[in-house]
Amino acid sequence: MKVLVAVKRVIDYNVKVRVKPDNSDVDLTNVKMAMNPFCEIAVEEAVRLKEKGVATEVVVVSIGPKVAQEQIRTALALGADRGILIETEEKLESLTVAKLLKAVVEKEQPQLVLMGKQTIDSDNNQTGQMLGALTNMAQGTFASEVAVDGDKVNVTREIDGGLRTVALKLPAIVTTDLRLNEPRYASLPNIMKAKRKPLDVTTPADLGVAMTSTLSLVKVTPPAERQAGIKVGSVEELVEKLKNEAKVL
């Protein structure tokens, strides 16, 4: 079984995001970049399926500038077999990404597509669902457990009321949630091996996808700074401030 995993290059989650002085976008100058945490979980799950003998090949695909090869190499060091970079400098929106992934799915014909439920930059939580609609493949979102059983995959989904398990007929798309697994660290020998693994570079034009955008970024502003808290001497004083100052009672 071939597993296709989509990964994205984002600002490292440990880095404090800065906004450009003109509020036109996020400032990426000299900022540490990394693989989206939810995508790491998807890679880990694919590698585990391979270790169990369920998957025979794990292919990682990313969309972005040439430097996004770093994140693909990271996935290869974690255990993926080969990588594909769709190289573009254009701004990406969810529908465009879904169309590009659809073209890769049609070319690679994977039995299972794994991807993070969302990215920590745009935070849209749309691409997996859009890809399912475009490819007419079954989809299981917010997965906390994935179990392949013959020509089906059972996906335990995290929902507001608890957990729901759905059985999807392969080929299928699964988007990963936080509690699915704990991603491993790449060892130095595997990092060295990853440099020799195949990584193909293509473009949206090669895949027949037009990079047209229907969205425009109007303004980016940092969140308002929280005011410092105060200490109160008694419950009565707390109630008085909540009633007369905060006016929440």
Q: Are 176 and 155 in contact (CB under 8 A)?
A: no
Coil vs helix vs strand at 180: helix
- 79 falls in which pLDDT band (50, 70, 90)? very high
Mean pLDDT (the chain) is: 95
Edge to edge, what strands does the sheet with 82-87 contain?
A: 162-169, 152-159, 138-149, 172-176, 112-116, 2-7, 57-64, 82-87, 199-202
User: Residue 245 corresponds to which amino acid?
Assistant: E
When pLDDT is averaged across residues 142-159 and rounded to a whole number, the result is 95
Angle at 208 (CA atoms; ends 203, 213), nearest 5 degrees = 80
Alpha helices in the chain (DSSP H): 37-51, 69-78, 94-108, 127-135, 188-194, 235-244
In the chain, the N- to C-terminal Cα span, in Å, equals 59
Encode pLDDT of 99-121 as tens digits: 999 999 999 999 999 999 999 99
2-244 topology per CATH: Rossmann fold (3.40.50)
Task: Please determine, for residue 179, whether its predicted confidence score (pLDDT) is greater than 90.
Answer: yes
- 228 falls in which pLDDT band (50, 70, 90)? confident
Q: Are 200 and 62 in contact (CB under 8 A)?
A: no
pTM, two decimals, is 0.89
